[in-house]
């Protein structure tokens, strides 16, 4: 080896060696699978005691109920508007009156207080309604007196059918359908009755369109 190349060789030996780096691989794209997993739906517990939601009835369904004879007790229609509204517009044939705004405790009354205030039996599937000729039927109530008193009780001339609590055997009411002007008060009444109102074993429904839909579509009117 030439002596001239010795300094160059020494410099190369002293120079720092490049550090070895691990091989670089491109990072795989991470998918967000959380957006692909369906959200868990919360279903009522099979043993839940929560009352079912009130059924919402349409104009056509109410019309069919009124026009179609049925061997089973027909639903009881309850108008929750105020007496002044009924006096101005009339009511759906066969319905009874339970003004909700002036009687916010209506659905929670005892059967005795309910009958005394509104003139018809508090709906219950267990029966016990007023029987014909027992002195407590709504036929003894003057509708004009009731309206003036602000209670808006049942119209004695209304044909309530088997669902009105006046059958000869005092059978119970299987279903109640509330209605008001536009569906707000009837929805409130239905939810209260289906909750803690004590309407034992009675199916609860409400007419969503209320009187506005009934009158607007030419439904029959009882005055």
In terms of residue numbers, what domain contains 202?
55-216
Q: Is residue 21 assigned to a domain? A: no
Number of structural domains found in the chain: 1
Q: Is the pLDDT of residue 108 over 80?
A: yes
Is 18 contained in some domain? no
Q: What is the mean pLDDT of residues 18-35?
A: 55
From CA 128, how far away is CA 139, in angstroms rounded?
17
pLDDT of residue 50: 58
Does residue 99 sit within a domain?
Answer: yes
Tell whether the model's pLDDT for residue 4 goes beyond 80.
no
What's the predicted TM-score (pTM) here? 0.61
- Looking at per-residue pLDDT, the higher value among 128 and 68 belongs to 68
Is 221 inside any structural domain? Answer: no
Please check whether residue 37 lies inside any domain of the structure. no
**For the segment 28-81, what is each residue's pLDDT rounded down to a tens digit?**
554 443 444 445 444 445 555 556 688 999 999 999 988 887 767 789 999 999
Non-local (6+) Cβ contacts of 83 within 8 A are 97, 99, 146, 147, 150, 151, 152
The region of weakest confidence among 3-7, 97-101, 104-108, 154-158 is 154-158
Q: What are 91-104's pLDDT values in tens digits? A: 999 999 999 999 99
Higher pLDDT, 188 or 126: 188
Closest C-alpha to 109, from 117, 101, 99, 120 = 117
Q: Cα dist. 88→84, 150, 223 in Å?
A: 6, 14, 9
46 within domain boundaries: no
Binning pLDDT at 50, 70 and 90, where does residue 164 land?
A: very low
Share of the chain above pLDDT 70, in %: 56
Q: Is residue 68 in some structural domain?
A: yes
**Domain holding 173: CATH number?**
3.40.250.10
1 domain residue, yes or no: no
Long-range contacts of 111-118 (CB under 8 A, 24+ apart): 117/151, 117/153, 118/151, 118/152, 118/153, 118/154
């Amino acid at each position: 080896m030439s002596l001239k190349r010795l300094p160059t060789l020494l410099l190369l030996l002293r120079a720092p060696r490049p550090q070895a780096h691990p091989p670089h691989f491109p990072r795989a794209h991470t998918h967000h699978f959380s957006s692909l997993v369906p959200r868990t739906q919360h279903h009522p517990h099979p043993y839940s005691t929560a009352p079912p939601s009130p059924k919402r009835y349409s104009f056509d369904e109410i019309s069919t109920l009124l026009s179609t004879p049925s061997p089973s007790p027909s639903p009881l229609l309850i108008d929750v508007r105020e007496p002044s509204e009924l006096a101005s517009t009339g009511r759906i044939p066969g319905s009874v009156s339970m003004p909700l705004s002036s009687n916010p405790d209506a659905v929670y009354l005892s059967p005795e207080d309910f009958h005394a205030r509104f003139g018809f039996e508090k709906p219950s599937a267990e029966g016990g309604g007023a029987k014909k000729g027992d002195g407590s039927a709504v036929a003894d109530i003057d509708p004009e007196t009731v309206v003036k008193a602000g209670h808006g009780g049942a119209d004695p001339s209304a044909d309530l059918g088997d669902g009105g609590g006046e059958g000869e055997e005092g059978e119970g009411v299987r279903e109640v359908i509330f209605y008001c002007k536009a569906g707000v008060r009837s929805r409130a009444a239905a939810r209260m009755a289906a909750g803690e109102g004590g309407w034992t074993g009675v199916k609860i429904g409400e007419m969503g369109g209320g009187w506005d839909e009934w009158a607007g579509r030419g439904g029959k009117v009882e005055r």
